[in-house]
């Protein structure tokens, strides 16, 4: 008898991370249906083999129709707003998109018996941690409305897990960067606040210089330290999490990073070495809501899911990101 192909529902599949995961799932022979309202996503990032339903996740009618007509094995929930600076300005928008709409969406999924959820959360839920390497049980102290909205949804899932048979994997991403090696997708946002995206824009000549927000942090060189994870490794983490969820049926929260911290200046230095050219930068004031150091302790994920990174080199992250930025200049 022919084995049934797993079918995965992906919200926000037209976005940066979601589209990498969609490509990987299709590469591995899974069936994928995407829900996206294209508010920050782009149709061009979606492979032809994926089905796309253009609607808001909180559109109960359209989502119900989709759920009635398909038999999904799990939902991967990426859809949301992601800019910390914007969330500080418009906190209600972030509450609405990342919590309220997501809650409506997930309630609809549960109603139609779709009860396995992989949720994109963020390391920003830890705020400014005391320990250099944060574990999943480190204190949760979000510093901005974006992180708050993500934590609220985490708590919603945990509560549902207790009251109903909901199983989840919450993935707390550290700093996601880089692009698909085949250059099928990458980060397209013109408003991105991601360091590596901005560096790539400077390298290809779209941006005059890089502004480093704050050089008076209590770190080795005064600039903030982050844990950068290649988006293709993160995509594999989703695949592994899905397999775990359908076989073991156990809920978990996992950090997604490499457990290695680089300061902003380290990243600039790596870029200088790669391109044998000095990147132009200047210092600006600190940004509200930024923490000094966020690096993952990744032991839990490695032990339970048995994942090993493949692309954990800063120069690979930079090279793929810059290559994608060059492609973007021509095609988007």
Ligand X SMILES: NC(=O)c1ccc[n+]([C@@H]2O[C@H](COP(=O)([O-])OP(=O)(O)OC[C@H]3O[C@@H](n4cnc5c(N)ncnc54)[C@H](O)[C@@H]3O)[C@@H](O)[C@H]2O)c1
- Based on the shown chain and the rule CB under 6 A, indicate whether residue 149 belongs to the binding site for ligand X: no
CB neighbours (10 Å) of residue 187?
24
Site track 36-65 with ligand X (rule: CB under 6 A), x = hit: xxxxxx--------------xx--------
Cα–Cα dist 133/260, whole Å: 9
Residues 6+ apart with CB under 8 A from 188: 16, 42, 45, 328, 332
Residue 15 DSSP class: S
- Based on the shown chain and the rule CB under 6 A, indicate whether residue 148 belongs to the binding site for ligand X: no
- Based on the shown chain and the rule CB under 6 A, indicate whether residue 75 belongs to the binding site for ligand X: no
Nearer to ligand X, 189 or 222 (CB): 189
- Based on the shown chain and the rule CB under 6 A, indicate whether residue 18 belongs to the binding site for ligand X: yes
- Based on the shown chain and the rule CB under 6 A, indicate whether residue 257 belongs to the binding site for ligand X: no
Written as one string, the DSSP assignment of 168-232 is: EEEEEE-EEE---TTSS-----TT---HHHHHHHHHTTSSS-EEEE-S-SSSSSSS-EE-EEEHH
Stretch touching ligand X by CB under 6 A, among 32-40, 195-203, 264-272, 324-332: 32-40
Q: How far is the CB of 234 from ligand X (least distance, A)?
A: 9
Stretch touching ligand X by CB under 6 A, among 22-30, 173-181, 200-208, 291-299: 173-181
Which of 146, 173, 244, 258 is flagged as catalytic?
146
Q: How far is the CB of 221 from ligand X (least distance, A)?
A: 22
Taking the mean position of all CA atoms in its chain, how far away is CA 237?
11
To the query of whether residue 146 is one of the catalytic residues in this protein, the response is: yes
Q: Is 11 helix (H, G, I), strand (E, B) or coil?
A: strand
**Total residue length of the chain:** 332
Closest CA to 47 of 13, 23, 29: 23
Cα–Cα dist 71/95, whole Å: 30
Nearer to ligand X, 222 or 313 (CB): 313
- Based on the shown chain and the rule CB under 6 A, indicate whether residue 118 belongs to the binding site for ligand X: no
Start-to-end C-alpha separation, the chain: 45
Q: How far is the CB of 3 from ligand X (least distance, A)?
A: 30
Q: Considering only residues 312-331, where is the footprint of ligand X by CB under 6 A?
A: none
Nearer to ligand X, 80 or 261 (CB): 80
In contact, 253 and 132? CB cutoff 8 Å:
no
Which residue in 80, 127, 186, 224 binds ligand X (CB under 6 A)? 80
Which residue in 6, 23, 33, 120 binds ligand X (CB under 6 A)? 120
In contact, 246 and 6? CB cutoff 8 Å:
yes
Cα–Cα dist 209/89, whole Å: 25
Which residue in 8, 9, 10, 15 binds ligand X (CB under 6 A)? 15
Stretch touching ligand X by CB under 6 A, among 16-24, 197-205, 239-247, 310-318: 16-24
What residues are labeled active site? Answer: 146
Footprint on this chain of ligand X (rule: CB under 6 A): 11-12, 14-18, 35-41, 56-57, 78-80, 82, 97, 101, 120, 122, 173, 175-176
């Amino acid at each position: 008898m022919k084995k049934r192909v797993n079918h995965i529902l992906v919200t926000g599949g037209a976005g940066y991370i979601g589209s990498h995961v969609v490509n990987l799932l299709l590469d591995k022979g899974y069936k994928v249906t995407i829900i996206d309202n294209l508010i920050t996503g782009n149709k061009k990032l979606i492979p032809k083999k994926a089905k796309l339903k253009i609607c808001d996740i909180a559109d109960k009618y359209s989502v119900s129709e989709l759920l009635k007509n398909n038999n999904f094995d799990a939902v991967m929930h990426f859809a949301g707003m992601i800019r910390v600076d914007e969330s500080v300005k418009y906190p209600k928008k972030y509450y609405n998109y990342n919590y309220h709409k997501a809650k409506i969406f997930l309630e609809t999924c549960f109603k139609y018996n779709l009860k396995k959820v992989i949720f994109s959360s963020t390391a920003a839920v830890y705020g400014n941690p005391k320990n250099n390497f944060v574990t999943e049980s480190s204190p949760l102290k979000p510093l901005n409305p974006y992180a708050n909205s993500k934590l609220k949804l985490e708590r919603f899932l945990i509560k549902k897990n207790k009251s109903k048979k909901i199983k989840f994997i919450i993935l707390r991403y550290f700093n996601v960067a880089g692009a698909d090696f085949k250059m099928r997708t990458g980060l397209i946002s013109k408003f991105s606040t991601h360091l590596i995206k901005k560096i790539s824009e400077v390298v290809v000549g779209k941006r005059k210089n890089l502004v480093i927000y704050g050089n008076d942090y209590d770190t080795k060189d005064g600039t903030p330290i982050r844990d950068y994870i290649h988006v293709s490794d993160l995509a594999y983490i989703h695949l592994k999490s899905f397999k775990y969820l359908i076989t073991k049926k156990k809920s978990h929260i996992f950090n997604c990073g490499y457990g290695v911290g680089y300061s902003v200046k380290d990243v600039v230095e790596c870029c200088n070495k790669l391109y044998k050219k000095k990147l132009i930068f200047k210092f600006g004031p600190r940004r509200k809501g930024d923490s000094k150091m966020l690096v993952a302790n990744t032991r839990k994920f490695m032990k339970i899911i048995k994942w090993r990174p493949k692309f954990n080199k800063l120069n690979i992250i930079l090279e793929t990101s810059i290559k994608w930025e060059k492609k973007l200049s021509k095609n988007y």
